[in-house]
Structure 1
Amino acid sequence: MDGLLPELEVIRKDFPILERQLAGGMPLVYLDSANTSQKPQVVIDTMVDHLERHNANISRAMHQLGAESTEAFEAARDRVAAFIKAPSRDEVIFTKNATEALNLVANTLAWATGDLAIGAGDEVVITEMEHHSNIVPWQLLTERKGATLRWFGLTDDGRLDLSDIDELINERTKVVSLTWVSNMLGTINPVAQIAARAHEVGAIVVVDASQAVPQLPVDVVASGADVLVFTGHKVVGPTGIGVLWGRREVLESLPVFHGGGEMIETVTMARSTYAGLPHKFEAGTPPIIEAIGLGAAVDYLDHVGMEAIHAHEQALTGYALEGLASVPGLTVLGPRDAVSRGGAISFELAGVHPHDIAQVLDSRGVAVRAGHHCAKPAHARFGVQASTRMSSYLYTTPAEIDALVDGLHHTRSYFKVG
C-alpha cells in the first residue's frame, strides 16, 4: 500500500505493548491512539534511567544530581521547541496536559489588562467540533466577564462552515480558539486561513493541536497561532505533561496563573515580582520525569519523520474508510476522504449501541473507543448521543484495520442486525 512506513515492522518492535496477548489468547489490535498513544521502549527506558540514576529536583539543588536533572529537563524543552519550530525555547511552557494549558490561557485572559482585556461587548469565537476542554474554559471566561461566546457551525460532511467567517470574526472578537484536527470527526481545519482573518480584526488565535502534533508536521509560526497547546501522551510520550507555546509578546502580556515557587523573581511580605519566561507560568515542582520522557518521545518521532508519519496515517485512513464502507448500516461521521482528515474515524452502526460494538470488538482483541469522546456538541449536531471511534497511528498495520472490519461484520451477525 503506497504511503505506509517502509520500516513499519521495525517500528512495531519498538512498542513492547503491541506484543501483548489479551484474554482468550487474542493478539492486541490497538485502535485507540487518538485517546492515548502507546510508548516506545526508548521513552520508557529514558524515564526509568532518570529515576534510577539522576533523580533530583531541578533549578535550586546545588549538587550533581540537581544539575543533571535540571540539564535533562531543560534539554527536553529545547527538543520540544525544535519539534514545533518555536522561535525561542522560552516560549515553551510545560503544563500537566492540554486541558490545563487551555485553562491557563482562558483564566489569565480573564485577569488581563490593556489590549488583551476582555469585557462586556467583547466576543470569543470557538467551533462546534471542539473537545470540551476547548469549550468550557471559554464559557466560564465569557460568563464571568460579560462577553459573548460565538462559534462556527458544521457542514453536513463534518467541516467548519466558513460561509459567515467575516461576520463571525469581527471588530468585537478578542479571541478565536479552535482545534486543528478534530478528535471526533477527524477533520483537519484550515487554521492559517482562520488565523489570518482573526488577525485582521486584532484578535488572538488559540489552537488546540492535541490531535495535530502527533500526525502532522507542525510549524507554530506558519500555523498563524498566537498560542498553541498539545498533550504529551498522544505523541508517544507519558501522561501528566502538556505543552503551551505562545508568542513572546502574548505570554509577556498575560498575568501569572499559579503562584508559588520558581515563578517568582523576589517575594516580600508586601508584594512579589515574577520571573521571566518560561518560569513565569511554571510554579512549583514541575513534571520533571514526564518532561524528560516527552523530550525522548519527540526525538523518536523526529527520527521516524513527521512527513512519513502523516503519509502513513493518510494511507491507513483511506484504507479504513474503504473497509468501513463495506459494512452494511455503518455511517462515518466527518469527511469521507483521507486527505481532509486525521486518523480518528467515528462511526455509527445501525441497530447497535456504540458500547456494545466496543465490547464485542474487545472480545476479539480490538481496542476502540465508544462514547461522546468529550465532544457532545459535535455529536448533537449530527443527531447522535454517542459513536464508536477507531484511531490509528504510526504503528498501525493494514491487517489491524482488516481485524476491525471483520469484527464489525461479526458484530452485525452477533446482534442479528438487518
Structure 2
Amino acid sequence: MAKSQTHIEGIYSIWRPGQESDSFRVAVKAPNQAQFVISSKTQPLLAQVNQYVKTQKLRREQAENDLHFTVLRDNLYQELKSRYGLKSYRIKEMLDLKGKKFNFEKSLQDFSDYKAMHSVGRAYSSILKKFWFSFFIEKMGCEHPREFITFKIQARTHVRTAKNKFDRPYSPNTYITLTKPLNEYMRFCHDIGHIKKDELFELNAELTLEEKKRRKLNPVRSTKTYTTNQMTQMKSKIDIHYAGNPEWKLKSYAMLFGIYTGLRRGNLLGLYAENLHPEASPPHFQVKDNVVSGWSRGQKGTIVLEDATKTSHDENVKIPFIQPSKETITEVAHFLKKNLTPKQRLLSCNPDTVAKWWRKICNEVKIPYVHPHGWRHSYATLGAIHVNDWYKGNPYLLQKCCMHASFRTTEKYIQGTSDELLKIFAD
C-alpha cells in the first residue's frame, strides 16, 4: 500500500495494488481529529473515481497521468477540503520557484529575456509569475512544467473563476491576455527541450459565440469611429471654444493631427514640428519616434524608441495628408508649425494622458469622444469607404498609410457598423 501527501493539508492518497487495476483510497486528518479513511460507500465521488480506474484498468502511474482521473480526483479533494475545513499548502514563493525538480525562477528569467527580443517580456513574466505559477505550483503542486498538462481543465476553470485585485472575476475580454503568456511559455519550454511534444498544450479559455450571446458581453473596445463630417466640424468647434486659450488649442490641434492621420499614440507623441511638411508637394509628414510606457520595459516614466513604429525601425516612413481633406489637415499642420519650435514635440505627455486630455477636450467642446485607438479605426474605415477617391482605388496604399504590415491587419480595423458606411447606401 502506497501513501502520499496531496497539495491540501490533511488529505492523503492511498493506492492498493489489485489484479487488473489498482484501487484508490483517501485518508483525511481534520483539525483536532484522528486520521480516518474515506469509504466509497459513503463518498459518491470516491466511488466514481474508483469505478473509472476499474473500468479503464489503470495502475497508479497510469491513473496519475490520466486527465479524466485527475479531474475527478481533484474534485474529490476540493469537496473534502470544503467539508472538513482543510487548507491548501502555501509555500514561500522563492522556495516554490526553486523546486527540487525544476528551477522555475531561472526558467522565468530565460523566458522573459527571450520574449524581450520580440515583444514586451516583462508583461508576460508578470502574468506567469503572479497568475500561473501560483496556480500550478502552489495550488496544484506541480514541480515541473511537464506536469502542467495534467491540470489543463482546471487551468481553464482558474481563468474563468479567478478574481482580480478588485476582488471581482476577470472580464471575458481579458481571458486571452491571461492565457497567451502561458501558451507562449509552454512553447518556449518545448523549444528548449524542457518538455516533450505530448506534454505541450495550448489553453483556450475564451467564451464561445453562444456564451457571448447569452451573457450579452460588450466588446473589449468601443467600436465607435468618427465620420468625415465630425472630423471636419471638430476643428471649427475647437477654434471657437479655445479662441482665448492658446495652450489647449495647441493641444487640441496636436490631437486633431493624430485623428486625421490615424497615428498610434506613441508615434503621435514622437513627432516633432519639423516632421510636418504642409508646404511640400504633396503635403506630408515623416514618422519619427515611438514613445512608450517605461513599465513595459521595466523602467520608470516613458521610453523613446527612435525612428520606430510598432512594426518597423529605422525606415524613412512618409505619409501624405489625406483625411478628412487635404486642405483641413494642411491647415492644422501649418498652425502646429507656427506655434512650435522645430525641435518641439507636438505633444509632451505620457501615452495614457492622451486619452484623458482628449476626453476633457470632447467634454468642453461638445464633440463625441472616441478613444485614441478608435482614431486608427476611423482612419481605416474612412479610407476603405473612400479608397477610390483618396487612395487611387488601391487598398495597398491604404494599408501603407495605416502603417500596417499587411492588408489583413487593415481589414480588422475597418468598422462595418460605422455611420459613415451606412451613408453610402442612403438615397
TM range (shorter): under 0.3
Name the TM-score, length of structure 2 as normaliser. Answer: 0.22
The structure with more helix, counted as a fraction of residues? 2
Larger C-alpha radius of gyration, 1 or 2? 2
Name the TM-score, length of structure 1 as normaliser. Answer: 0.23
Q: Which has the higher contact order (CA 8 A, sep 6+)?
A: 1
The structure with more strand, counted as a fraction of residues? 1
